[in-house]
Structure formats: C-alpha cells, structure tokens
C-alpha cells in the first residue's frame, strides 16, 4: 500500500500502480513524524474495512511511503470487503 501523509483529508483513494505493482493508495492528514502518519493509516484502513484498529499493523516500510500491513481476521472476508468497496468506488473519509 502507498501512504501519502500531510494530505487535506484521511481517505482510501483506491488502487494505483507503483514500482511495487498495484497498491492501495491511502491519504492521511497526519505528518510523517513519530509514527503519527502510520497510526492514522491504521485508523483509516480499519474503518474502511470495518475491523478494530488494533487488527491493522504496519509490519514493513515504517519510514517509507510504500508500506506492508498485516490485518488480523478472516482473509477471505477481508478480501471480499476490500473488493466490494473498490468495485463500488466507495472511499472512506475518516475525521
């Protein structure tokens, strides 16, 4: 996934192409300081997927824009939720 900090809003924007391949693009208002942007990312993505914030963790790329996340739960169900949101063009604007 690709994180854009210091954005005007917290939201999942959809899928984009990056050097890593197809990635989920997420924007957050938080600055990339002291883990604030990563914390905002887990909150936005948890809300978007409908899981507790504690279920989402950054496990790679803590100081980079490209992140690797681990999301606890039923992988098939999470994939269905993400696919449905992306297909519907639903974006999460978390305050």
3-51 residue pLDDT tens:
999 999 999 999 988 887 899 999 999 999 999 999 999 999 999 999 9
The answer to whether position 93 is within a domain reads no
Q: What is the pTM of this model?
A: 0.88
Which of 34, 77, 38 minimizes the C-alpha distance to 56?
38
The answer to whether position 94 is within a domain reads no
> What number of helices (H) and strands (E) belong to the chain?
2, 6
Residues 6+ positions from 72 with CB-CB distance below 8 Å? 51, 55, 56, 57
pLDDT of residue 39: 97
8 Å CB contact between 62 and 38: yes
Q: What CATH number should be reported for the domain holding residue 78?
A: 3.30.1200.10
The answer to whether position 52 is within a domain reads yes
**How many folded domains does the chain comprise?**
1
Domain ranges, residue 7 = 2-88
The answer to whether position 95 is within a domain reads no
Distance, in Å, from the CA atom of 63 to the CA atom of 65, rounded to the nearest integer, reads: 7
């Amino acid at each position: 996934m690709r994180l854009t900090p210091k954005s005007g809003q917290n939201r999942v924007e959809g899928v984009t192409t990056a050097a890593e391949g197809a990635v989920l693009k997420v924007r957050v208002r938080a600055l990339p300081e002291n883990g604030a942007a990563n914390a905002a990312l887990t909150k936005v993505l948890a809300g978007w997927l409908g899981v507790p914030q504690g279920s989402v963790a950054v496990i790679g790329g803590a100081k980079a824009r490209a992140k690797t996340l681990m999301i606890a739960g039923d992988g098939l169900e999470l994939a269905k939720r993400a696919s449905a949101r992306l297909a519907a063009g639903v974006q999460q604007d978390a305050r």
